[in-house]
Amino acid sequence: MEPDTAPPRVDPAAIERIASLRRERDAVILAHSYQPPEIQDLADFVGDSLELSRAAAATPHRTVVLCGVRFMAETAYILAPEKTILMPAPDAGCPLAGCMTPEDLVAMQESFPGALPVVYVNSGVELKALAYSCCTSANAAAVVEAVPADEIIFGPDRNLGLFVERRTRKRMRIFPGSCPPHARLTAGDIALARASWPDAEVLVHPETPPECWDAADHVLGTGGMIARVAASGASRFIVGTEEGMCYRLGRLFPGREFRTAGSIHCPNMKKTTPGLVASALESMETAVRFDESLRAAAHASVMRMASIG
Ligand code: SF4
């Protein structure tokens, strides 16, 4: 079985346009770990969604090209409204973020009036604005523990909610949403991958179903996966998250081998191309913006998330 480290699709003309436009526009290019190899290669920084937002807020550049999906560009704008946040592929949505509406949250609040809402950062800005706090996959359990209520409404990802439920004594009221690519992974996929690479360590994301956590060696967000590989003596890893992560790990750890368990491919993450990055910088027309009162309401819950490791 071959490792999943597909070579980047080279587009020299677009790369050349980007090189001059990034200076002209005073731009920094940020890419999520699930982006295609050629986008990770041209980015100034690759990271998870919280790291990208923090990088957008910290950068001295006036323009941020956010290569990811819409909720990531929204979160960057929430933290850095004075900057122009461009989305090269403005139609790159996230089915998980879109599956829970503000009306769904209000209905849950009516059913559980004593509960405080925590929403995964993979959610729309309107949901973030209604939440007490956001969380990442890495700090979800710590955020839930820190919320001043014994009952928590959690969404949109059911699997992450169940993962937190195993780690807290708080009463969890979990919305039944999911990330389609991650939710498709099965324990059978992991068993098959292990049969091919019996010496490999298996790392899975908490957005995968609970049966996958039980079949894996570690359940981690993408940042945790990087830390685990750095600490591990293993030379092969089976990775239960989006395939772009294998390319990222391969770049960070040359000499080790990575492959996905099953097939976890997010079509929205693959919409960004070097040509679209160049066009976004040329036209400056795909900036993410929204109403200041909405941004300010969402800012409070994002900052609670950012304050917890
Ligand atoms: Fe959304 Fe899942 Fe794609 Fe991430 S991998 S952007 S959570 S659909």
Query: What's at 295, amino acid-wise?
Result: R
> Nearest C-alpha to atom 6 of ligand 1 is from which residue?
94
In this structure, are residues 306 and 88 in contact, taking their beta carbons and an 8 Å threshold? Answer: no
Ligand 1 centre to CA of 31 (Å) is 14
Residue 264 near ligand 1, beta carbon < 6 Å = no
pLDDT at site 1: 54
Task: Tell me the Ramachandran region of residue 294: left when phi exceeds 0, alpha when psi lies from -120 to 50, beta otherwise.
Answer: alpha
Same-domain check for residues 166 and 102: yes
Ligand 1 centre to CA of 188 (Å) is 22
The alpha carbon dihedral of 23, 26, 32, 34 has a sign of: negative
Please name every residue paired with 65 in a beta bridge, in sequence order, or none if there are none: 29, 86
Distance CA 223, CA 127 (A): 24
Ligand 1 centre to CA of 270 (Å) is 11
Same-domain check for residues 68 and 53: yes
pLDDT at site 49: 85
pLDDT at site 288: 97
Among 71, 67, 77, 70, CA closest to 42: 67
Same-domain check for residues 47 and 112: no
State which H helix or E strand residue 32 sits in.
Answer: strand 27-32
Same-domain check for residues 127 and 173: yes
Among 121, 122, 127, 260, say which to mutate for ligand 1: greatest number of ligand atoms within 8 Å of CB: 122
pLDDT at site 5: 58
Number of folded domains that form the chain = 3
Same-domain check for residues 171 and 189: no
Among 52, 69, 204, say which to mutate for ligand 1: greatest number of ligand atoms within 8 Å of CB: 69
pLDDT at site 7: 64
Report the interhelical angle of 70-79 vs 292-306 (nearest 10°).
90
Structure-token pair, residue 180: 């389609």
Of 178, 193, 212, which residue is a domain's last? 178
We report the CATH number of the domain holding residue 63 as 3.40.50.10800
Parent domain of 223: 181-265
Query: What's at 271, amino acid-wise?
Result: K
CA of 69, closest atom in ligand 1: 6
Report the interhelical angle of 292-306 vs 49-58 (nearest 10°).
110
User: CA-based angle 227:246:254, to the nearest 5?
Assistant: 70
pLDDT at site 29: 98
Q: 290 in a domain, yes or no?
A: no
Same-domain check for residues 192 and 256: yes
Per-position b or e across 34-72, b if 16+ CB within 10 A of its CB: bbbbbbbbbbeebbbbbbbbbbbbebebebbbbbbbbbb
- Ranges of beta strands (E only) in 95-254 are 116-120, 133-135, 151-155, 171-174, 201-204, 218-219, 236-240
Same-domain check for residues 101 and 88: no
Mean pLDDT per 10-residue section of the chain, whose length is 309 residues: 64 93 97 97 94 93 98 96 97 97 98 97 98 95 97 98 97 98 98 97 98 98 96 98 97 97 95 97 97 97 90
